[in-house]
């Protein structure tokens, strides 16, 4: 059985990240590293944990195509399995990124994930340029751009997954902002439980604060694992 729960290591130190890895490795399938930890622990540390665990590098690259391509290639050299870009990068960049993904994935497992609309946005808090379309239509439009490019990995909330999978059944959908029913939403707006996300068709769940802010991170990770994989 593949464990598709990833713990977001959104913490401030290498020491705390390593404590969490030690406490949760039996219950999660991999770890997400973002800028908060990367700038503290450094790229060599990311490379070292990539030798032992599946790693998802979440830096959401959004730049001119050449800069994005170079950044993705550098990320691959760290040994990570997943890396994020913004779907807003546009069709020219997405097509070139797909070609690079094809090249790199021949060497080992590697997937580029295009972020649609952040799960911290609601209809009320969308940027003005997206308000006329709204969250659902914006996610659908961006997912369509990604699909046309040939890329198949996207990041979206669990709220949108079911509809997207109906239109694009071979999308690989990553769902952040996952919460147990008794957890605080914090700054996340479009949230689902782990079971709801998987039942909707999510392929990977990203869980952060419900685990790393828990008094007992191991128990929290185990609870989320059991909510998904034990009936």
Catalytic residues: 60
* Cα distances (angstroms) measured from residue 63 to each of 50, 60, 95: 25, 10, 14
Q: What DSSP letter does each residue of the chain carry, written as one string?
A: ----EEEE---S-HHHHHHHHHHHTTT-SEEEE-HHHHHHH-HHHHHHHHTTSEEEEEEEE-S-HHHHHHHHHHHHHTT-SEEEEEGGG-HHHHHHHHHHHHHHHTTS--EEEEE-S-TT--GGGS-HHHHTTHHHHHHHHHHHHHHHHT--EEE--HHHHHHHHHH-TT-EEEE--B--TTS--TT--S-B-HHHHHHHT-SEEEE-HHHHTSSSHHHHHHHHHHHHH--
Q: Please count the CA atoms within 13 angstroms of the CA of 66 that sit on its side-chain side.
A: 0
- φ, ψ for residue 4, nearest 5 deg: -105, 25
């Amino acid at each position: 059985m593949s464990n598709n729960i990833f713990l977001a290591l959104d913490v401030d130190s290498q020491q705390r990240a390593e404590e969490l890895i030690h406490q949760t490795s039996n219950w999660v399938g991999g770890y997400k590293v973002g800028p908060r930890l990367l700038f503290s622990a450094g790229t060599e540390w990311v490379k070292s944990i990539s030798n032992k665990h599946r790693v998802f590098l979440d830096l959401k690259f959004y730049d001119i195509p050449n800069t994005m391509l170079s950044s993705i290639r550098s990320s691959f050299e760290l040994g990570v399995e997943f890396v994020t870009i913004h779907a807003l990068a546009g069709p020219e960049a997405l097509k070139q990124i797909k070609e690079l993904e094809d090249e790199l994935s021949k060497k080992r497992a590697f997937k580029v994930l295009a972020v649609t609309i952040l799960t911290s946005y609601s209809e009320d808090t969308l940027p003005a340029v997206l308000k006329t379309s709204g969250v659902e239509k914006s996610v659908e439009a961006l997912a369509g751009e990604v699909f046309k490019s040939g890329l198949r990995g996207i990041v979206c909330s669990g709220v949108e997954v079911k509809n997207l999978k109906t239109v694009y059944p071979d999308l690989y959908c990553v769902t952040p902002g996952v919460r147990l029913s008794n957890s605080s939403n914090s700054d996340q707006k479009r949230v689902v439980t782990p079971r709801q996300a998987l039942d909707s068709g999510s392929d990977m769940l990203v869980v952060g604060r419900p685990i790393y802010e828990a008094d007992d991170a191991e128990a929290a990770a185990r609870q989320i694992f059991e909510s998904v994989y034990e009936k």
